[in-house]
Amino acid sequence: MDNDTSKVYGRQLKKLLNKNGVTVQGRASFSEMLSLGYQQLLAHYRHEYIYKTAILNSYVLREHSLAETILLNEFKIGTSKADVIVVNGTNKVFEIKTELDTPERLQNQVNDYFKAFTEVYLVVHHSMLAKYLGRVDRHVGIMVFSENGNIDTIYTATPDHSRLDSTIMLKSLRKDEYLNLVRNLNGSIPIAKPVHMFTECCRIAKSFPVQTVHIEFLKIIKQRICKESNEITLDEAIPSYLKFCCYNADLDQNHYIALTKRLNCFI
Tens-digit pLDDT profile for residues 27-55: 889 999 999 999 999 999 999 999 999 99
Percent of the chain scoring above 90 in pLDDT = 84
Q: What are φ and ψ of residue 100, in 5° steps?
A: -90, -10
Question: What pLDDT does 241 receive?
Answer: 95
* Nearest C-alpha neighbor of 230 from the set 71, 122, 121, 86: 71
Tens-digit pLDDT profile for residues 220-238: 999 999 999 999 999 999 9
* Nearest C-alpha neighbor of 45 from the set 104, 125, 119, 115: 125
Question: What pLDDT does 161 receive?
Answer: 97
Q: Is 52 left (phi over 0), alpha (psi -120 to 50) or beta?
A: alpha
Confidence of residue 1 (pLDDT cuts 50, 70, 90): low
With b for 16 or more beta-carbon neighbours within 10 A and e for fewer, the 232-242 pattern comes to bbeeeebebbb
pLDDT average, residue stretch 134-146: 93
Residues 6+ apart with CB under 8 A from 103: 97, 131, 132, 135
pLDDT average, residue stretch 115-132: 97
| Neighbouring-strand partners of residue 240 | none
How many residues belong to the chain? 267
Tens-digit pLDDT profile for residues 2-31: 677 878 888 888 888 888 888 887 888 999
Using the predicted structure, report yes or no on whether residue 214 has a pLDDT greater than 90. Answer: yes
Tens-digit pLDDT profile for residues 142-183: 999 999 999 999 999 999 999 999 999 999 999 999 999 999
Contact between 182 and 201 (Cβ < 8 Å): yes
